[in-house]
Amino acid sequence: MGRDALHIVLAILALCVAYSANALTKQGYTVGNYQLSKIGCGTWSWGNRFLWGYSEEDDAQLQETYEYITKRGVNWFDTADSYGTGSLNGRAEELLGRFERESKSKKKVCFATKLAPYPWRIGSQSMVKAGEASIERLGRPIDIVQLHWPPSLGWQEKEYLQGFGSLLHQKKATQVGVSNCGPRKLKKLCKESESNGYKIFSNQVQFSLLSRYPLENGLIAAAEDEGVHLVGYSPLALGLLSDQYSIESNCLPSGVRGILFREFLPIMTPLLQELRSIAKTRNKTVPQVALNWNICKGLSVLVGMRTVQQAKDNLGALGWSLSTPEVEALDKAAQKVPKQLVQNSFQTK
């Protein structure tokens, strides 16, 4: 091969690599003012010692993961002012802000943060102050400010939404989302937000092969009626669908998750078998098949990523699609599991 021909081949390969690196960005959803990649990174574990065993020693690894996924087109991160346990409250927001400021790629990303409707937060200004505290930790205005869960018995609901309107008016946030809303509550909050002069663009709900309630309770239709995009969190069911754990080999997570796994692993054999069969045929991993199932149902996928290896596996769910028969086979296998995961206690109807 001549020198000129070799240069042409190398140039074509370089373009292919560049296209591949940007492919995730082109495969996304328009959510209000943002074009978001189909997979976003959840940061629940960033600062959570109780459930996820976080340590400050993890920060370098988390920052490496941030760099890895943003370079590959993941352009939104979900966090909350309650992420980070004990003295580490707000840790996830602090880390996100620092990672963005120190990022080598300097790619613009969307920060969606959830503000908790704690019972001591009274009046619209309580949410404004909560948003301002998040802004201080993030180091910049919030892209998508979200109500973490609907307050019990509607406590301060109108006031909280008024507070979100103030954050928008003051340009401290760009748009509004909610979380853990069932169809009735979603419609109610959408109506209330419209009376305050703005729209709710997104709703985060628990969704996986082991938590299929949005397919069964009318939420998808309600969201379509309201023009609200659905985001599915916990798509790997706290790791139950990762296929990395086994009771027989005593390979289980510690703490509360270990108790849950002992309960569910024995009854999910049909589902795991179907996932493994499709994964083998597709030359994919079980988590990639489970995540792709979520995408096939039309929801954005919000998945936790703490290591580069974990990120590589999760992003392998993109760029291909399960066939209709494969989706149907997974649906049937999931229905053979005698019970679904318990819904988040804050989830409403």
Of the candidates 46, 69, 27, 19, which has an alpha carbon nearest to the alpha carbon of residue 292? 27
Question: How far is Cα 39 from Cα 24, in angstroms, rounded to an integer?
Answer: 9
C-alpha triplet 331, 148, 256: angle, nearest 5°: 65
> At 162, which amino acid appears?
Q
In contact, 236 and 208? CB cutoff 8 Å: yes
- Helices 124-138, 157-169: axis angle to 10 degrees equals 50
| Widest pairwise Cα distance in the chain | 75
Contact between 23 and 73 under an 8 Å Cβ cutoff? The reply is yes
In terms of DSSP H, where are the helices of the chain?
3-26, 49-52, 59-71, 91-102, 124-138, 157-169, 183-195, 213-216, 219-226, 255-264, 269-282, 286-296, 308-315, 324-335
The catalytic position among 83, 160, 233, 245 is: 83
Dihedrals φ, ψ of 50, to 5°? Answer: -60, -50
Give catalytic status of residue 245 as yes or no.
no
| CA distances from residue 12 to 3, 23, 181 in whole angstroms, order as listed | 14, 16, 48
DSSP reduced 3-state for 180 = coil
Whether the CB-CB separation of 264 and 240 falls below 8 Å is answered with: yes
Annotated active-site positions, please?
Answer: 83
